[in-house]
A and B are shown apart, each in its own frame.
Chain A
Amino acid sequence: MRTFRTVTALAAAALLLTGCAQAERGPDKDGVVHLRFQSLAWQKESVDINRQLVKEWNAAHPKVQVEYVQGSWDSVHDQLLTSFEGGEAPDIIHDASDDLADFSYGGYLADLTKLLPARLKADIPQQSWDTTTFDKKVYGVPFLQEPRVLMANEKLLKTSGVRVPTPEQPWTWEEFRQVAKKLTTDMGKGKYGVAWPLKEPVSATLNLGLSAGGELFHQGDDGKTTIRFTDADEVVPGTVHDQVNTDGSASAATLGMGGSDTLPGFFGGKYAMVPLGFSYRQQISQQAPEGFPWTVLPAPAGKDGLTQGVSPQTLSVAEDSPFKKEAVEFIDFFLAPENMARLAKGDWMLPTGKEALKDPSLHTPKDGWATGTALAAHLRSAPAQSVRGYPEWKDKVATPAYQEFYSGAIDAAELRQRLEKEGNLVLARYQR
């Protein structure tokens, strides 16, 4: 038995050790380089455009052939992590900037700083590059992004006689609160001026909080990050809390819902406004009853105007890929202005590229495109996406704390205490 165990253990160890020594990939016998591109596009229009662009590239570049592989947003982190560890990651990786920090710190992604062509560098604004830059190295090309906007029932707004905001003259947070109150009164019992779908409250709260100057995460001179919940950080969560618990102008039932879950209530006239990501317009256009009068309004502004945090979709290159140069060439082609505009329209999002943003079809009032495009210049890197320990803080501390605060179970003082005290303990573990 002992001999059997020893042999088994040795066999397993040998398998693992030899597994680590992987053969270097190279071009095939005809000198053709094969790249694998894992895309997370999932809506038909978007998948079609992705496939079409790959087809166009392959036709124009017979020596560098790209294989299109469809991944899934639902499981991309675990799937990529395993693939990286096993040395089998795709060469070109579609993901979101808030997922890149762990991978870049882990050494799984290639530093693109010196590989990026000047055109692409110049086309994408610095605030977008900031979302994929960690330790002064660029680990992904941000290409699609979406602000949070207010989907509104135009008819209810008109009936109520409230001022309709524009990107040039948005509501303040206080004005938004008053408007929601008035709408609730005018709409009658069982109906609400606003429905906040806050199943995942942290990113929505922090991203919108930038408008009021809330930063929450502060970096000290020693380079270490600590959490400080200031008055500016309280503006957005305080507004939501008061709408639900004081004014009764926001539905408490939707606090635990995802965005899609609130749409039937929105279509049925139960809610006049729903704060949602810009791409939800596609679902609305598909599902709204014939002639439903919906419109897109900018989110309220604070002392920092319409500023919002975003985590753009990104394209990265695996560190293990032997074809980094070719992979970046493909990314450059894929994100040429006209292609980026096509991708943006397919996903109902905004392109990060300045040239793509000039596409006339992104400036039409139809389906709220013009409102979203006007917000592009105000979008910044989502707070804390590069802070180590952020995912744990989000899951273990911030999510339950914000949920309890919004439902009225705890007050602002306790929210502050939990976010700061428990949160800093979590961050400290990652910054030793």
Chain B
Amino acid sequence: MSLTSGPMRTSRPARAGQYLALLAYLVFLAFPFLWLISTAFKSPRELGDLHPTWIPKDPSLDNFRQAFDEQPLLEAAGNSLIAALAAALIAVVIATPMAFVMARHRSRLTTAATGWVVVSQAFPFVLVIIPLFLILKNLHLINSLPGLIMVYVVWSLPFALWMLVGYVRAVPRELEEAAAVDGASRLRTLVSVTAPLLMPGLVATALFAFITAWNEFFFALVLLKSPEKQTLPVVLTHFIGAEGAADLGPLAAAAFLATLPSLVIFAIIQKRITGGMLAGAVKS
């Protein structure tokens, strides 16, 4: 190892080890998804094979056909998309000015608010569901997507806020002070100076809120009654029977399709998220 000054260099074996560990981690992460894809294209007979193969012996689209034939997947995906997009958008719009205040104006209130945000994450669904149900019922928001969206916003808001506070703190305060010197109001400063710099953080937060809402099951199950309003995770359970029995092929096909929107969105904005994460993580 060199003792000269300059950036630390990793030895070749260590670098190879790092890549190997990374590869193992990627395989670990990808394994369930790849298995899901493989299952989605297998026939019921092949699913009962004692020695399953990665590549289906006789790949077919029958599971996809059956899944679409038996359940209103497109309708459910539409409902999920509306709920998830609306929840993500509203959560970000509400959380941004809140994060700005919490990051820039330190007081006992902001400290208490930060504590409350962390504590609120500890409440399990079952604890809040019945009071929540009664409140929404009184507001005539049971069995409606707006009601579900409201719940998703409230549910993802604390963590979204917590994320955004970190991003706002990473934006140099001097830029806002310069805007103030030029006569910009606080709102103008937030919109024209802070928000553009926060874009990676906003995207990452929106994605978090989107995926949370897209995958959420229990609130959707309890709050939506009509079949035409159900979301994708709820419809997926219709392929599962008593005592863990499942219609595995169609379930895998539908679950595979359900993961696609998240993957596509993630792939499109991946670079922005990476930048955002770094921006939030490094103190200036």
Does B245 make an interface contact (CB < 8 A)? Answer: yes
Within 8 A of B (CB), among A241-299: 258-260, 263-265, 267-268, 270, 277, 279-280, 283, 286-290
Assess whether A42 is in contact with B244, with CB atoms less than 8 Å apart.
no
Assess whether A267 is in contact with B244, with CB atoms less than 8 Å apart.
no
Q: Tell me which residues across on chain B come within 8 A of A290, comparing CB atoms.
A: 45
> Which residue of chain A is the closest to B248 with respect to CB atoms?
A260
Assess whether A16 is in contact with B221, with CB atoms less than 8 Å apart.
no
* One of B7-15, B31-39, B134-142, B159-167 at the interface: B134-142
- Give CA–CA (A18, B140) in the complex, Å: 12
Chain B proximity of A61: nearest CB distance (Å): 21
Q: Tell me which residues across on chain B come within 8 A of A199, comparing CB atoms.
A: 244
Assess whether B48 is in contact with A288, with CB atoms less than 8 Å apart.
yes
> Which residue of chain B is the closest to A288 with respect to CB atoms?
B48
Assess whether B238 is in contact with A283, with CB atoms less than 8 Å apart.
no
Within 8 A of B (CB), among A80-120: 82-83, 85-88, 96
- Give CA–CA (A202, B123) in the complex, Å: 31
Does A20 make an interface contact (CB < 8 A)? Answer: yes
Assess whether A258 is in contact with B238, with CB atoms less than 8 Å apart.
no
Does B51 make an interface contact (CB < 8 A)? Answer: yes
Assess whether B227 is in contact with A70, with CB atoms less than 8 Å apart.
yes
- Interface digits, A106-139 against B, CB 8 Å rule (1 contact, 0 not)? 0000000000000000000000000000000000
Assess whether B134 is in contact with A16, with CB atoms less than 8 Å apart.
yes
- Given that A267-B49, A267-B50 are contacting pairs, would A96 and B134 also be in contact in the complex, using a CB cutoff of 8 Å? no
- Give CA–CA (A270, B48) in the complex, Å: 13
Does A78 make an interface contact (CB < 8 A)? Answer: yes
- Give CA–CA (A280, B47) in the complex, Å: 15
Assess whether B130 is in contact with A86, with CB atoms less than 8 Å apart.
yes
Assess whether B246 is in contact with A287, with CB atoms less than 8 Å apart.
no
- Give CA–CA (A292, B45) in the complex, Å: 11
- Interface digits, A200-213 against B, CB 8 Å rule (1 contact, 0 not)? 10000000000000
Assess whether A79 is in contact with B222, with CB atoms less than 8 Å apart.
yes
Chain B proximity of A267: nearest CB distance (Å): 5
Assess whether B243 is in contact with A277, with CB atoms less than 8 Å apart.
yes
- Given that A82-B129, A260-B246 are contacting pairs, would A72 and B240 also be in contact in the complex, using a CB cutoff of 8 Å? yes
Does B44 make an interface contact (CB < 8 A)? Answer: yes
Assess whether A85 is in contact with B130, with CB atoms less than 8 Å apart.
yes
Does A10 make an interface contact (CB < 8 A)? Answer: no
Does A221 make an interface contact (CB < 8 A)? Answer: no
- Interface digits, B72-89 against A, CB 8 Å rule (1 contact, 0 not)? 000000000000000000
- Give CA–CA (A32, B139) in the complex, Å: 26
Does A413 make an interface contact (CB < 8 A)? Answer: no
Q: Tell me which residues across on chain B come within 8 A of A79, comparing CB atoms.
A: 221-222
Residues of A within 8 A of B (CB-CB), count: 49
Does B6 make an interface contact (CB < 8 A)? Answer: no
Does B126 make an interface contact (CB < 8 A)? Answer: yes
- Give CA–CA (A18, B135) in the complex, Å: 9
Chain A proximity of B109: nearest CB distance (Å): 8
Does B237 make an interface contact (CB < 8 A)? Answer: yes
- Given that A85-B130, A259-B244 are contacting pairs, would A264 and B225 also be in contact in the complex, using a CB cutoff of 8 Å? no
Within 8 A of A (CB), among B1-60: 44-45, 47-52
> Which residue of chain B is the closest to A75 with respect to CB atoms?
B221
Does B131 make an interface contact (CB < 8 A)? Answer: yes
Does B266 make an interface contact (CB < 8 A)? Answer: no
Assess whether B48 is in contact with A42, with CB atoms less than 8 Å apart.
no
Does B115 make an interface contact (CB < 8 A)? Answer: no
Does A60 make an interface contact (CB < 8 A)? Answer: no
Q: Tell me which residues across on chain A come within 8 A of B45, comparing CB atoms.
A: 286-290
Assess whether B70 is in contact with A82, with CB atoms less than 8 Å apart.
no
Q: Tell me which residues across on chain A come within 8 A of B138, comparing CB atoms.
A: 15-16, 18-19
Does A74 make an interface contact (CB < 8 A)? Answer: yes
Does B242 make an interface contact (CB < 8 A)? Answer: yes
- Give CA–CA (A268, B50) in the complex, Å: 5
- Give CA–CA (A200, B245) in the complex, Å: 13
- Given that A16-B131, A36-B225, A270-B50 are contacting pairs, would A88 and B237 also be in contact in the complex, using a CB cutoff of 8 Å? no
Does B155 make an interface contact (CB < 8 A)? Answer: no
- Give CA–CA (A260, B249) in the complex, Å: 13
Does B116 make an interface contact (CB < 8 A)? Answer: no
> Which residue of chain A is the closest to B70 with respect to CB atoms?
A44
Assess whether B50 is in contact with A19, with CB atoms less than 8 Å apart.
no
Q: Tell me which residues across on chain A come within 8 A of B239, comparing CB atoms.
A: 42
Does A47 make an interface contact (CB < 8 A)? Answer: yes
Chain A proximity of B50: nearest CB distance (Å): 3
- Report which residue of B131, B138, B227 has the largest number of chain A beta carbons within 10 angstroms of its beta carbon: B138
- Report which residue of A70, A72, A270 has the largest number of chain B beta carbons within 10 angstroms of its beta carbon: A72
> Which residue of chain B is the closest to A269 with respect to CB atoms?
B50
- Give CA–CA (A354, B135) in the complex, Å: 47
Q: Tell me which residues across on chain A come within 8 A of B240, comparing CB atoms.
A: 42, 72-74
Assess whether B243 is in contact with A88, with CB atoms less than 8 Å apart.
no
- Give CA–CA (A419, B241) in the complex, Å: 30
- Give CA–CA (A390, B161) in the complex, Å: 43
Q: Which of A75, A85, A88, A264 contacts B48 (CB 8 A)?
A: A264
- Give CA–CA (A12, B50) in the complex, Å: 57
Q: A74-B237, A268-B49, A286-B45 are in contact. List 16 more A-B contacts (CB 8 A).
A: A15-B135, A16-B135, A18-B138, A40-B242, A44-B247, A72-B237, A73-B242, A78-B126, A199-B244, A259-B243, A260-B248, A264-B50, A270-B50, A279-B245, A280-B245, A287-B44
Return 17 A-B CB contacts under 8 Å, by A number.
A15-B138, A16-B135, A42-B240, A78-B126, A82-B129, A85-B130, A86-B134, A86-B137, A86-B142, A87-B137, A88-B142, A258-B245, A260-B246, A264-B52, A286-B44, A288-B45, A288-B48
